[in-house]
Amino acid sequence: MASRKPAADGVPAATVRPRLTVMRDVAKLAGVSHQTVSRVLNNHPNVRAETRERVLDAMRSLNYRRNLAARTLVTRQSDTLGIIGFETTLFGPASMLYGIESAARDAGYMVSIASVRDLDRRQVLEAVDRLTQHSVDGVIAIAPKQSVTHALAQAPPSLQCVAVGGSGESDAAPTVSIDNAAGARLATQHLLDLGHATVHHAAGPADWPESAERIEGWRRTLYAAGAVVPRVEHGWWDAESGYAQGRAMADDPNVTAIFCSNDRIALGVLRALHEAGKRVPQDVSVVGFDDMPDSGFFVPPLTTVHQDFGELGRRSLALLLEHMTTAPATDPPPPHRVLLTPELVIRTSSGPR
Amino acid sequence: MASRKPAADGVPAATVRPRLTVMRDVAKLAGVSHQTVSRVLNNHPNVRAETRERVLDAMRSLNYRRNLAARTLVTRQSDTLGIIGFETTLFGPASMLYGIESAARDAGYMVSIASVRDLDRRQVLEAVDRLTQHSVDGVIAIAPKQSVTHALAQAPPSLQCVAVGGSGESDAAPTVSIDNAAGARLATQHLLDLGHATVHHAAGPADWPESAERIEGWRRTLYAAGAVVPRVEHGWWDAESGYAQGRAMADDPNVTAIFCSNDRIALGVLRALHEAGKRVPQDVSVVGFDDMPDSGFFVPPLTTVHQDFGELGRRSLALLLEHMTTAPATDPPPPHRVLLTPELVIRTSSGPR
DNA sequence: GGCGCGCCTGTTAACGTTCACAGAGCAAAG
DNA sequence: CTTTGCTCTGTGAACGTTAACAGGCGCGCC
């Protein structure tokens, strides 16, 4: 797909522009100056009540809509926020996106989205650039990798950026995320408490901080309990990967408990166990992560770590807004990092050894 | 480098906006007029190659970014498309969204999103209004209900709108969707061909055209085969609803085949059957709809009707662009309705009676 | 040589809004 | 009565870009 304009060579001229009503029209009808109309629109206090009414009437009767492009041109702010999205077809990112958008609307902002296929520096900067050209007032990056926050640090300093999801480790940009290590600890400890000698782990992709932090939390918990730490295979976030990892584990008689890095992986593990003739939870216990809407309807219903993606989105928006409205010198700086705590939801896929 | 602003002593330095480089700066450095810079930017042919190079160099060395707000103000087009989203946390809508966005980027467009919580006329019109104020060049509505296309018809006539998903029945706006009835026929016929006397149906919500069309396709197929048409319960699109419907069916010995309106419903049905001690597919066959990424890892792997949500998104964007660039009088009108054909994916949840 | 006709470039005027300032009217204070 | 100050309103000038037009230059043609 190429350029949509047929080269400005000849004049298109086919498009006749219908003149929309502008402030001047409203002003004329109301018998005031355009500036007074502007004042009414922006809720400026110094307008006589009677005048304001007259202007509002005129706006209504002309069905006036203000031209935000003109406003943006002079005020340099667009009431639009940019989102850098990655893998937004996954449930988590999609939910965050929705959380951000609906909170943004309540705050009077529009949301523009720039997806990237890979999270390398070049693509992220390119996305920032596109958003900048459209003069967004701030950026939220759904950013599960370190490279993103680093790239974000290279954005023009006047542009406020916040990262959501992934790791909270980076200093490069304010970050909102859940405490993945704590979630992993919850899951692992739960299984240990049920009497399992150790807990195996079906991990997500190696280069996602979510995955790394969950491994770390799992490993620390085992270590603290003096349990053996089994080795880990990496995969993608889907059931296929869980199935592959699960098949390997199903044949190992030492495996009695498996903590999965997300619910989809758990789904694959459940199927692998089922095929191998292992009963869950009698023979092997399984715990997931995310608590996706349908996880309670797996066979058997999945014990998992619940996280609220929508809340993650809303909080990241709130943080961005704080950073945008805070004057650097005067106010105390808003928090640099927000960490949400996940909860364990116990269903029937986990049981005593 | 004195700033142009007087900067009276009382003015807090915090409010001073850093002057960005504009066309005039580039022009000065390149030794040309700002208009020539504009011409270079817009690929106007009548610029000497040497001059163009000089301008491009100047742009690079000043790190110039054009101000799209100013451009939008004068050209009345923003290179931005609006999306009206509904339930975008669901896999289908999220995938369409992604498909639209990535196709839009390739076509040089930015994408703004306006979600609605409910699909009533007021909220949809409000969303259109917000998008209009931000001067989007066109709108795609992820619109699974009739009310949306009707509301769309009330949008300003200068604004091109396209609906994607849902029913293709409406005349109100150009529509891209899949052939739900054909998909349902595929699934139902497959089960009949396996020797089942009839096929039961676990339906989605009553007021979604997707659901209604699938019911219709299923019903017609049964009718054509002279099979009994069982009655239908409605639910939501999730596993919980499938579980509820599945429990009722599990106790009925006449039920040997179930066609589910989507894969999540099928997941719930599978669990209900499992709990009731029914084996799939030996006792009961189950077929889903959507072919979500993990459906091949259900227990057992799900036979389902595959639809390509990303393609749906891309096609809707293509259709919108066609409608936007077509001059009403001269060119032949682009298609009003695009219907994509789904495919049956046979796995192991369906078997002979 | 004059003329017309392409190329290439510059000058000026929009686009629709907000900002900065000025000024009219009126009330309270000196 | 003047002065001061506050409320309300209007005038002009930005903001940064593209559109419209004008003009200089070189070239080919008569």
**Domain limits of chain A?**
23-66, 78-178+310-340, 180-307
Cα–Cα distance, B313 to B176 (Å, whole number) = 8
CA angle B133, B138, B144 (to 5 degrees): 105
Average pLDDT, chain A: 90
Q: Is B102 on the interface with A (CB under 8 A)?
A: yes
Q: Do domains A23-66 and A180-307 have the same CATH topology?
A: no
Are the Cβ atoms of B299 and A65 closer than 8 angstroms?
A: no
User: Closest nucleotide (CA of A55 to C1')?
Assistant: D9
Query: What pLDDT, in 10s, does the model give residues A253-294?
Result: 999 999 999 999 999 999 999 999 999 999 999 999 999 999
Task: Indicate the residue type of A61.
Answer: S
What are φ and ψ of residue B179, in 5° steps? -85, 90
CB-based contact B204:B214 (threshold 8 Å): yes
Q: Which of B39, B98, B311 to mutate to test the interface with A (most CBs of A within 10 A)?
A: B98
Give the model's confidence band at A148: pLDDT under 50 very low, under 70 low, under 90 confident, else very high: confident
- DSSP per-residue codes, A271-336: HHHHHTT--TTTT-EEEEEE--TTGGGSSSPPEEEE--HHHHHHHHHHHHHHHHHS-TTTSPPPPS
Q: Between the CA of A51 and the C1' of C20, what is the distance in angstroms?
A: 22
List of residues 6+ apart from B294 with CB closer than 8 A: A238, A239, A240, A264, A267, A268
Q: Is B14 on the interface with A (CB under 8 A)?
A: yes
Residue B11 has pLDDT above 70, yes or no: no
CB-based contact A126:A132 (threshold 8 Å): no
Taking the CA atoms of chain B, what radius of gyration do you get in angstroms? Answer: 27
A10: tokens are: 């000849």
CB nearest to B111's CB, from A95, A112, A293: A112
Are the Cβ atoms of A8 and B43 closer than 8 angstroms?
A: yes
Nearest CA distance, A281 vs chain B (angstrom)? 15
A77 touches strand C (CB under 7 A): no
Q: Between the CA of A106 and the C1' of C22, what is the distance in angstroms?
A: 39
Taking the CA atoms of chain A, what radius of gyration do you get in angstroms? Answer: 27
A265: tokens are: 């992986």
CB nearest to B89's CB, from A78, A98, A298: A98
B74 touches strand D (CB under 7 A): yes
Domain A23-66: CATH superfamily, name plus number: lambda repressor-like DNA-binding domains (1.10.260.40)
Are the Cβ atoms of B112 and A80 closer than 8 angstroms?
A: yes
In this structure, what DSSP letter does residue B288 have?
A: E
Task: Please state the rounded mean pLDDT for residues A17-42.
Answer: 89
What are φ and ψ of residue B346, in 5° steps? -90, 120
- DSSP per-residue codes, A183-220: HHHHHHHHHHHTT-S--EEE---TT-HHHHHHHHHHHH
Q: Is A111 on the interface with B (CB under 8 A)?
A: yes
A7: tokens are: 């080269």
Helices A239-250 and A263-275, axial angle in degrees (round to 10):
40
Query: What pLDDT, in 10s, does the model give residues B259-279?
Result: 999 999 999 999 999 999 999
Residue A90 has pLDDT above 60, yes or no: yes
What are φ and ψ of residue B350, in 5° steps? -120, 135
In this structure, what DSSP letter does residue B134 have?
A: T
Nearest CA distance, B271 vs chain A (angstrom)? 6
Looking at domain B19-66, does it have CATH number 2.40.50.140? no
Nucleotides of D under 7 A from a protein CB: 7-12, 14-20
User: What pLDDT is recorded for position A172?
Assistant: 76
Domain B180-307: CATH superfamily, name plus number: Response regulator (3.40.50.2300)
Are the Cβ atoms of A264 and B294 closer than 8 angstroms?
A: yes
Nearest CA distance, B184 vs chain A (angstrom)? 23
B315: tokens are: 């096609």
CB-based contact B270:B246 (threshold 8 Å): yes
CB nearest to B110's CB, from A102, A117, A130: A130
CB-based contact A140:A316 (threshold 8 Å): yes
Q: Is B333 on the interface with A (CB under 8 A)?
A: no
Give the model's confidence band at A20: pLDDT under 50 very low, under 70 low, under 90 confident, else very high: confident
Stronger pLDDT, A4 or A49, i.e. the higher one: A49
Cα–Cα distance, B274 to A85 (Å, whole number) = 38
User: What pLDDT is recorded for position B7?
Assistant: 31
Rounded to a whole number, what is the largest CA-CA distance in chain A? 87
Task: Please state the rounded mean pLDDT for residues A160-173.
Answer: 80
- Alpha-carbon A271 to chain mean position: 29
Are the Cβ atoms of A268 and B89 closer than 8 angstroms?
A: no
Cα–Cα distance, A171 to A158 (Å, whole number) = 17
Which of A:157-196 have CB within 8 Å of B?
A: 158
User: Closest nucleotide (CA of A12 to C1')?
Assistant: D19
User: What pLDDT is recorded for position B330?
Assistant: 61
Give the model's confidence band at A170: pLDDT under 50 very low, under 70 low, under 90 confident, else very high: low
Tell me the CATH architecture of domain B78-178+310-339: 3-Layer(aba) Sandwich (3.40)
Residue A8 has pLDDT above 60, yes or no: no
Rounded to a whole number, what is the largest CA-CA distance in chain B? 90
Tell me the CATH architecture of domain A78-178+310-340: 3-Layer(aba) Sandwich (3.40)
Residue B2 has pLDDT above 50, yes or no: no
